[in-house]
Structure 1
Amino acid sequence: MSILLNNPLWFATRAAGTLALILLTATTVLGVAGAVRYAPNPVRRFEVAALHRNLSLLSLVLLVVHIGTALADTYVPIGWISALVPFVSPYRTVWVGLGTLAFDLLLAVAITSALRLRIGLRRWKAVHVLAYAAWPLAVFHGAGTGADTRLGPQLALYALCVAAVIAALWWRLHKAGPGQVTTRVGAVVLSIAVVGAFYAFVVSGPLAPGWSHRAQTPSTAPRIGATR
């Protein structure tokens, strides 16, 4: 860890990744809460939609910075192909792969949004839904890959991100009005499952002894697993 403290690229990678996660969470909250739908007038709806779009683009830009600095940092062997192809990185294959998959999903959304008029609204919406899957992938990627996951502020950030998305889900159900018992029960089950899964992962994974070694693939663990 002392080597990392003297490495500006590591700080840049973690800073860009953390900011990208915050913006991605804000984007997900706006989408899940249906903020555009429930805006009071057309002007407000336009403003919220623009905010949603701009946050998405900014999070994608920060992800590019995050990936670029990670690849430039030669401390760990990630490789350029790992930036686009999931689960091929020699370093923490699963956890880096989750981040790559999240980036690919967001990239697909950005590309189809630029081609929205050509591909049609139905196809665009089908791809746009994938952006919601990118958020949990990004959360688990950050918690599983980052050497700072053990730090209290970082853990608090992950907890706030999860709580914000769950709150947005409940806000959406509240604004939908009475009824929809099945949907509300499903939301309760989903909320408990998400919180429980993340808590179990953090406690048994990054916060447990030996995570640096267990997070590696067998071929890379002896070489770099003991230091991260």
Structure 2
Amino acid sequence: MSHEALTQALWAFGRGSGVAALVVSTVAVVVGIAARSGRAITLPRSGIAELHRGASLIACALVAIHVVTLLADPDAQLRLIDILVPFAADYRPLWLGLGTVAVDLLIAVVVSALLRHRLGPRVFRLIHWAAYGLWPVALVHALGTGTDAGRPWLLAIAGVCVVAVAGAVTWRAGANFTEFGRIQRRSVR
């Protein structure tokens, strides 16, 4: 494979995995909100929890592919420091910095999930709420950087993701949303 073909492949994997990560993380956020309701929407509660976990793991893998392929791509000019320190990049420091912030938040959410039983439910939930910040930061990163920023197909995908998350958050904030814990406590009484 020629150097040019390899660079094009890395760039395509970097871009594609980033967009796919946005879509799958949207699914994880929406399903995560549904999992908190305790209601069987179309799947039993355990199925919704598994779907949330699976989507979250796939989103993490896609983010890893996104970062690694862009690190390996010489044309992307991404440095290790750019993925560790927000806003330190030479290329589009604001937009790339938002991606770094999203990765940092993702790491915090993943670590809290792995240590859930040691942290306790309150600390876990507090850290896990970072996903509500992670998602819009990742969305703005996707819309502000890269060669596809502003393209109609990316704006359409982002629009669908925004509508899905906004709908789920609106439902979550609504009076008819019942937390799973509240459902359990009422049935015990």
TM-score range, shorter chain: 0.7 to 0.9
Q: Distance in 2 between matches of 1:87 and 1:152?
A: 27
How many correspondences in the alignment?
A: 172
Structure 1 residue 121, shift from structure 2 partner: 1.3
TM-score after normalising by structure 1: 0.70
Aligned-residue identity in percent: 38
Contact 1:71 1:80 (C-alpha < 8 Å) held by counterparts: yes
Q: CA RMSD in A?
A: 2.1
Greater RCO, CA 8 A, separation 6+: 2
The residue number in structure 2 matching 1:76 is: 76
Q: Distance in 2 between matches of 1:27 and 1:76?
A: 28
TM-score after normalising by structure 2: 0.83
Q: Distance in 1 between matches of 2:120 and 2:166?
A: 31
Is 2:11 the counterpart of 1:10? yes
Contact 1:36 1:46 (C-alpha < 8 Å) held by counterparts: no
Is 2:30 the counterpart of 1:29? yes
Contact 1:105 1:130 (C-alpha < 8 Å) held by counterparts: yes
The residue number in structure 2 matching 1:166 is: 166
CA displacement 1:159-199 (0-9 Å, x = unmatched): 1111111111233326338xxxxxxxxxxxxxxxxxxxxxx
The residue number in structure 1 matching 2:127 is: 127
Where in structure 2 are the equivalents of 1:99-178 lying within 5 Å?
99-172=99-172, 173=174, 175-176=176-177
CA displacement 1:40-65 (0-9 Å, x = unmatched): 39x81111111111111110111000
Could you say what secondary structure the match of 1:149 adopts?
coil
Gaps of 5+ in 2: 179-189
Structure 1 residue 84, shift from structure 2 partner: 2.1
Could you say what secondary structure the match of 2:86 adopts?
coil
Q: Distance in 2 between matches of 1:96 and 1:21?
A: 15
The residue number in structure 1 matching 2:44 is: 44
Matching residue's letter, 1:27: A
